[in-house]
Structure 1
Amino acid sequence: MHLHPPHVLVLLWPCAVVLVLLAVVKQFFKLVFATDCHCN
C-alpha cells in the first residue's frame, strides 16, 4: 500500500511539533527560573 497523506496533515505536523517544543521549552525555563529565584 502506498498512501499519500493530505497536504493539510503535511502542513499541520510541523506546526504541532513546534507547539510541543515551545511548550516543553516554556516549562523548562519556568523550572530553571523558579529554581534560580529559589536559590537567590
Structure 2
Amino acid sequence: LGHSQALIADAVHSVSDLFTDAIVLLGLRIGFDCHGLVPGD
C-alpha cells in the first residue's frame, strides 16, 4: 500500500492517454470523411 499514490497517478495518466487517443482518432476519421478519403462511402 505504500506505493498506492503512484499507482493512482499512473492510472490517471493511462486514462488521460486513452482519452487523448480517442480524440485524435475521432479527428482523423472526421478529417478523412470530410475529404472523401474513406473507401466505401
TM-score bracket for the superposition, by shorter chain length? 0.7 to 0.9
Give the TM-score normalised by the residue count of structure 1. 0.73
- Hey, which of these two has a bigger chunk of helix by percent? 1
Structure with bigger RCO (C-alpha 8 Å, 6+ apart): 2
Q: Which runs of 5+ in 2 are unaligned?
A: 37-41
Unmatched 5+ residue regions in structure 1?
none
Fraction of identical pairs, as percent: 17
When normalised by structure 2's length, the TM-score is 0.72
1:3-18 map, 5 Å: 5-18=2-15
